[in-house]
Amino acid sequence: MHTAEFLDVDHTDISSVLAGGYNHPLLREWQNERQLVKNMLIFPLFISDDPEDCTAIESLPNIKRFGVNKLASYLRPLVAKGLRSVILFGVPLKDGVKDPIGTAADDPNGPVIQGIKLLRREFPELYIMCDVCLCEYTSHGHCGVLYDDGTINRELSVSRIAAVAVNYAKAGAHCVAPSDMIDGRIKDIKRGLIRAGLAHKTFVMSYAAKFSGNLYGPFRDAACSAPSHGDRKCYQLPPGGRGLARRALKRDVAEGADGIIVKPSTFYLDIMCDASEICRDLPICAYHVSGEYAMLHAAAEKGIVDLKTIAFESHQGFLRAGARLIITYLAPEFLDWLSE
């Protein structure tokens, strides 16, 4: 019979042995440059203008759209489990509320302003962020105000978006997060907040590197915000545009952004890494978007991945790439997993 041999090699190369660095569960935790913890999680909330709304979104498993009367009872158990922050998206459902300039975005009786006030009252410790964009509220579904030829009117868009941001801050939002990607809005929002006497207590979180792509579909179902014509490729970044993202990051830091969002997350880890280098003094936030979330769920349902394992693996990747915060639809699951 053949006898297996062991090769007698010189073992003096001690630096080749890495396993001793992670052979114990505690060591594997020590190897994390950043540990995923509950205070990093920001949970997106869709609030509609039907106060009694409680609608499941088919393409976004486990996520519902709520009216203001249904929000508190849904959130209370999550806050009790350690949820520290939410980001609000308004969804106007009523006929005739959308117009070319997104008037409904900061309607004092609209879902976002009413939602801010309710959450501040019901959950004094909860940090309230507001997505700021016009696309949910414009009749054409674009993120800004348009010229007659359908292109973005930058000046009008930015001044409208800045007004909306200031009105959210006036209503009590702790943080405004403009997601429109129209040039120059950070500067104008910051100036508007200073003029309103709110800049010292309002965090401006810029979606500085938001890429146009195929991952926002379920969100558009939830927020009813698909553009009625054209696409967003002239203001959101092209997926290959790493250089453009670096320029946008530098620009938004120079305009006074307090924090930076990279969106989507999984396919843009190089951008997160760039952001943590370019914006090293600011917290970087990854946005694990609706399409990424829906894909993980679909793969888990098919038995291709285990949801919990893949959730930790993907979100750990964002932290490794430089993110410190994560906007994620998986926040409720993570609150349970991190309590185990």
Ligand X SMILES: NCC(=O)CCC(=O)O
Which residues of this chain interact with ligand X, rule CB under 6 A? 131, 133, 179, 216, 219, 289-290
The least CB distance from residue 113 to ligand X, in Å, is: 18
Using CB under 5 A as the binding rule, whether residue 112 contacts Zn ion is answered as no
Residues 182, 157: Cα–Cα separation, whole Å: 8
Instruction: Name which of Zn ion, ligand X, none residue 216 binds, using a CB cut-off of 5 to 8 Å depending on partner kind.
Output: ligand X
Evaluate the CA torsion angle 330, 333, 336, 340 in order and state its sign.
Answer: negative
φ and ψ of 281, to 5 deg = -95, 5
Q: Give Cβ neighbours of residue 230 (< 8 Å, ≥ 6 apart).
A: 142, 150
Minimum CB distance to ligand X smaller for 199 or for 219: 219
Instruction: Name which of Zn ion, ligand X, none residue 106 binds, using a CB cut-off of 5 to 8 Å depending on partner kind.
Output: none
The least CB distance from residue 278 to ligand X, in Å, is: 22
Minimum CB distance to Zn ion smaller for 199 or for 285: 285
Q: How far is CA 158 from the centre of its chain?
A: 21
Query: Is 320 assigned a ligand-binding role in the annotation?
Result: no
Both tokens assigned to 17: 């042995």
The least CB distance from residue 207 to ligand X, in Å, is: 7
The least CB distance from residue 133 to Zn ion, in Å, is: 3
Minimum CB distance to ligand X smaller for 133 or for 173: 133
Using CB under 5 A as the binding rule, whether residue 135 contacts Zn ion is answered as yes
Strand-strand pairing, 203-210 and 127-132: unpaired
Instruction: Name which of ligand X, Zn ion, none residue 143 binds, using a CB cut-off of 5 to 8 Å depending on partner kind.
Output: Zn ion
Instruction: Name which of Zn ion, ligand X, none residue 116 binds, using a CB cut-off of 5 to 8 Å depending on partner kind.
Output: none
Query: Is 233 considered catalytic here?
Result: no
Residues 13, 11: Cα–Cα separation, whole Å: 6
Strand-strand pairing, 259-263 and 54-56: unpaired
Binding mask 170-199 for Zn ion (x = CB under 5 A): ---------x--------------------
Stretch of 46-54, 125-133, 239-247, 313-321 lying at the interface with Zn ion (CB under 5 A): 125-133
Query: Is 130 assigned a ligand-binding role in the annotation?
Result: no
Tell me which residue of 7, 83, 10 sits closest to 45, measured CA to CA.
Answer: 83
Catalytic position from the list 70, 250, 263, 308: 263
Query: Is 121 assigned a ligand-binding role in the annotation?
Result: no
Please say whether the beta carbons of 181 and 210 come within 8 A.
yes
The least CB distance from residue 278 to Zn ion, in Å, is: 23
Please say whether the beta carbons of 262 and 284 come within 8 A.
yes
Catalytic position from the list 210, 250, 302, 308: 210
Minimum CB distance to ligand X smaller for 110 or for 199: 110
**First-to-last C-alpha distance (Å) of the chain:** 52
- Expressed in percent and rounded to 5, the helix, strand and coil fractions of the chain are 40, 15, 40
Both tokens assigned to 308: 């919990």
Query: Is 175 assigned a ligand-binding role in the annotation?
Result: no
Measured from the Cβ of residue 331, the count of other Cβ atoms closer than 10 Å reads 23
Query: Is 133 assigned a ligand-binding role in the annotation?
Result: yes
Minimum CB distance to Zn ion smaller for 66 or for 235: 235
Query: Is 81 considered catalytic here?
Result: no
Query: Is 290 assigned a ligand-binding role in the annotation?
Result: yes
Residues 271, 260: Cα–Cα separation, whole Å: 11
Residues 180, 273: Cα–Cα separation, whole Å: 22
The least CB distance from residue 272 to Zn ion, in Å, is: 19
Residues 209, 260: Cα–Cα separation, whole Å: 8
Binding site feature residues:
133, 135, 143, 220, 232, 290, 329
Give catalytic residues, as residue numbers. Answer: 210, 263
Binding site feature residues for 5-aminolevulinate:
220, 232, 290, 329
Residues in touch with Zn ion (CB under 5 A): 133, 135, 143, 179
